[in-house]
Chains A and B, each alone.
Chain A
Amino acid sequence: MERERWINIALALLLLAAPLLALAAGEAFYVTLATRVAVLALAAVGLNLALGLGGLVSFGHAAFFGIGGYAAGILAAQEMTAMPPIWIVAALVAGIMAAFIGAVSLRTSGVYFIMITLAFAQMIYYFVISWPAYGGEDGLPLAVRNQFPFVNTLKPLPFFLICYVLLLAGLLLFAWLRDGRFGAALQAARQNETRLAALGVSPFPIRLTAFVLSAMITAVAGALYADLTRFVSPSMLSWHLSGELIVIIILGGTGRLFGPLAGAALFVLMEFLLGSLTERWQFFLGLVLLGTVLFAKGGLIGLIAGKARNG
């Protein structure tokens, strides 16, 4: 575990150093790339809470990512352009939706849970596509990036730093939850539900809380993503994105604190490098993924840091 801590610190510093070096070299584009890594990592940190700790394979987290994005887009369209309130609204709306979705979905488990979360996300996706008020199928552009007090968010580096700080806050929250009583109960619910119930703890409220918190974190990431691309589209809600979030977690290492960051970095790099090599990058991404699932179970951090203590 000691080695994993060093890897985590190295990863956090690397993500911070990358845009600074890029700017020093005059390559502002890479700052945007690093911001993308931070935002996707934050979304995956949210999912990691449900999936990694709770064993709840949600195949519908794009819904919460998209809700966050649309919260930012719609509020901005109403001249409400301060980031912190937008994040709060995004998290609250996603949390309420997650409470409903979770209340139904968590009655089931296993494959049913996977498919039901997927179906609910599709429901929101189709609703957004067929509701013309906020762009419908065409999406919703943001006129300018939303604002943060005392920070010029229009410049790439300050915006990256906002995302970076939020990512660290998300990671801290994840670590705090994981190491506390709540995290212990959540992980116990994954490992042995019956035993947890025998200890007098009912798994359902624990799981629902985890699911709601997980959705809220992912929604904040969605709001940031809307600001990053200055565009909100239904594709933020598509099931491909749900799949990619799972992919990011698996690539990094399921349930590990910094797994989402390692995974997001790997994913964005592969997307970028393969994308610059060949138009068919998705084909090779598929092959890499397939290889990871079949042959490298612990993900990137698992490869470097060895097996997790209680997998």
Chain B
Amino acid sequence: MSLALFVEQVLNGVQFGVTLFLMAAGLTLVFGVMGLINLAHGSLYMVGAFACAAVAAWSGSFWLGLAASIAAAAAAGAVVEWVVIRRLYDRDHLDQVLATFALILIFSEAMRWLFGPFPLYLDMPGLLSGSVTLPGGIEYPLYRLTIILVGIAVAAGLHLLIARTRIGMRIRAGASDREMVAALGVDIATLYTIIFALGAALAGFAGALVGVNQSVQVGMGEPVLILAFVVIVIGGIGSLKGALVGSLLVGVTDTMGRFLLPQIFSLVMDPSQATTVGAALASMLIYIVMALILAFRPRGLFAVTS
């Protein structure tokens, strides 16, 4: 195994982690501030990917599609919050799970209705195709590198938004005491809609970015959603920092597990068996990591105390 391959796999893991972060950030914000568990977050990811693919195919411009993905997901998020989600804030988690599960069925079927049963494909923008040479002579796809950089920028931007701006202050205040903030004259209902739409926009953005590397199809959001759940459980639900650390941990662990475990097993057993056992174990690896972390820190790495 060459060093270049190893570094490439680590970068792939980081890129995967960064896309997970875009999903997990919205989930953890919505849970941290509104106390809501939203299974339909994966549907917003799917909406973003479809919007991007459709607009990019119609206009011929990936960038227009990317803008459309953010706009469509944010709009869908705002509408869903306004129509359904705001009735669920006072309900228990079971009702929230169920109502958002129903939303998944509705969204998935609606997308199949609108776009037909076949997957759509997104072309990589010309500007970002090709690869770059990293220090040490390692070739790495420019598109993936861009995703990593964009993800880091979004994480930094979110941190600034929450920690430094007026709306961030209101978001934090809303998380700690809803009644008091409302009593101080903040329009809490609108604030919640904004937060939900922000999370949705990030999910849609992630969907569009990933849609280039995979096909855009109904149900694409669900595996990512479940991984995002693992991420925020590991990181501590409600913590943005936890979401970032958890995303990178899950992304790198998963990618490296799939890459390294079959090779490790091939040292002690014959290659075909090693591939089988290694692949099976690799597919379970992040859940094992999660179980281990929770066995010692039941509320995640960066538990939010409230």
Interaction A to B:
yes
Task: Say yes or no: B279 contacts A290, CB within 8 Å.
Answer: no
On chain A, the residues within 8 Å of B233 by CB distance are 112, 115-116, 119
Among A110, A243, A246, A283, which residue has its beta carbon within 8 angstroms of that of B113? A283
Contact B222 A118, beta carbon cutoff 8 Å: no
Report the bound CA distance from A286 to B298 in whole Å: 33
Is the beta-carbon distance between B37 and A114 smaller than 8 angstroms?
yes
User: Residues 291-306 of chain B: 1 if any A CB is under 8 Å from the residue's CB, otherwise 0?
Assistant: 1001100111000000
Q: Give min CB distance, A105 to chain B, whole Å.
A: 8
B280-291, CB under 8 A of A: which get 1 and which 0? Answer: 101110011011
Q: Is B87 an interface residue (CB 8 A)?
A: yes
> What 0/1 pattern do residues 124 to 154 of A give for CB contact below 8 A with B?
0011011110000000000000000000000
A120 touches B226 (CB 8 A): no
Which of B31, B283, B290 is in CB contact (< 8 Å) with A119?
B290
Which residue of B has the minimal Cβ distance to A101? Answer: B291
Asked if B226 contacts A239 (CB within 8 A), the reply is yes
Specify which chain A residues have a CB less than 8 angstroms from the CB of B237 in the assembled complex.
111-112
Q: A108-B299, A287-B106 are in contact. Are A293 and B98 (CB under 8 A)?
A: yes
Q: Does B94 lie within 8 Å of A57, measured CB to CB?
A: yes
- Return B272 CB to nearest CB of chain A, in Å: 10
Q: Is the CB of A290 within 8 A of B276?
A: no
Q: Which residues of A sit under 8 angstroms from B102, Cβ to Cβ? A: 285-287, 289-290, 293
Residue on B nearest A105 in the bound complex, by CB: B294
Chain B residues, CB < 8 A from A112? 233, 237, 294, 298-300
Residues of B within 8 A of A104 (CB): 291, 294-295
Cβ-closest chain A residue relative to B39: A243
One digit per residue, 1 when the CB lies within 8 angstroms of any chain B CB and 0 when it does not, for chain A 262-294 equals 000000000000000000101101110110011
- Asked if A119 and B229 make an inter-chain contact with CB atoms under 8 angstroms apart, the answer reads yes
A107 at the interface (CB under 8 A from B): yes
B105, closest chain A residue (CB):
A286
**Pairwise interchain contact A293-B291, C-beta atoms closer than 8 A:** no
| Residue contact A290 to B97, C-beta cutoff 8 Å | no
- Quick one: which of A107, A115, A246 contacts B298, CB cutoff 8 A? A107
Interface assignment of A59: CB less than 8 Å from any CB of chain B: yes
Report how far A122 CA is from B284 CA in the complex, Å: 8
Q: What separation, in Å, do the CA atoms of A209 and B79 have in the docked complex? A: 43
A244 and chain B: residue at smallest CB distance = B101
Check A237 for interface membership: any CB of B closer than 8 A: no
Q: Is B93 an interface residue (CB 8 A)?
A: yes
Query: For residues 68 through 106 of chain A, which have their beta carbon under 8 Å from a beta carbon of chain B?
Result: 104
Contacts of B98 in A (CB 8 A): 246-247, 250, 289, 293
Secondary structure of the A contact surface, majority rule:
helix
Find chain A residues with CB under 8 A from B139 CB: none
A57 and B93 contacting across the interface, CB-CB below 8 Å: yes
Give the chain B neighbours of A282 by CB distance below 8 A: 105, 108-109
CA–CA, A122 to B280, complex, Å? 13
* B104 in contact (CB, < 8 A): yes
**Docked complex Cα distance between A280 and B105 (Å):** 10
**Are B94 and A243 closer than 8 Å at their CB atoms?**
no
Chain A residues whose C-beta falls within 8 Å of the C-beta of B110 in the assembled complex: 283
Contact (Cβ within 8 A) B99 A294: yes
Count chain A CB atoms within 10 A of each CB in B95, B97, B295, B298 and give the residue with the most.
B97
- Interface size range on A against B: 35 or more
User: Would A243 and B109 be within 8 Å (CB), given that A116-B290, A118-B229, A132-B276 are in contact?
Assistant: no
A21 within 8 A of B: no
CA distance A108 to B299 in the complex (A): 7
Is the beta-carbon distance between A283 and B109 smaller than 8 angstroms?
A: yes
Task: Identify B294's interface contact among A59, A107, A289, CB under 8 A.
Answer: A107
| B107 to chain A: closest residue by CB | A286
Q: Chain A residues near B294: list those with CB within 8 A.
A: 104, 107-108, 112, 116
- Residue B4 at the chain A interface, CB threshold 8 Å: no
Which single residue of chain B is at the shortest CB-CB distance from A297? Answer: B95
A120, B287: Cβ atoms closer than 8 Å = yes
Known contacts A108-B298, A119-B290; decide if A246 and B94 are in contact (CB<8 Å). yes
- Are A286 and B84 touching (Cβ within 8 A)? no
The interface residues of chain B lying within 8 Å CB-to-CB of A107 are 294-295, 298
In the assembled complex, the CB of A94 is this many whole angstroms from the nearest CB of chain B, namely 18
Tell me the bound Cα distance from A104 to B104 in angstroms.
28
Q: Tell me the nearest residue of chain A to B35, going by C-beta.
A: A111
Measured CB to CB, the nearest residue on chain A to B238 is: A111
How far does the Cβ of B271 sit from chain A's closest Cβ, in whole Å? 15
Pairwise interchain contact A286-B103, C-beta atoms closer than 8 A = yes
- Please name all residues of chain A whose beta carbon is closer than 8 Å to the beta carbon of B279 when the two chains form the complex: 130
Check if A123 is an interface residue, CB within 8 A of chain B.
yes
Inter-chain contact B291/A114, CB cutoff 8 Å: no
Q: Which residues of A contact B87 (CB under 8 A)?
A: 294
- A118 vs B288: C-alpha distance when bound (angstroms): 13
* B contact residues around A118 at 8 Å (CB): 226, 229
For residue B222, which residue of chain A has the nearest CB? A239
Complex interface: chain B residues within 8 A of A239 (CB): 222, 226
| Contact across chains for B291 and A120 when beta carbons are under 8 A apart | yes
- Chain B min CB distance to A107 (Å): 5
**B29 at interface (Cβ–Cβ under 8 A)?**
no
Q: List 9 A-B contacts (CB under 8 A).
A: A111-B37, A114-B37, A120-B287, A123-B284, A239-B226, A243-B101, A283-B110, A293-B95, A294-B87
Q: A127-B283, A285-B105 are in contact. List 13 more A-B contacts (CB 8 A).
A: A108-B294, A111-B31, A119-B290, A123-B284, A123-B287, A130-B282, A246-B97, A246-B98, A282-B108, A283-B106, A285-B102, A289-B98, A290-B103
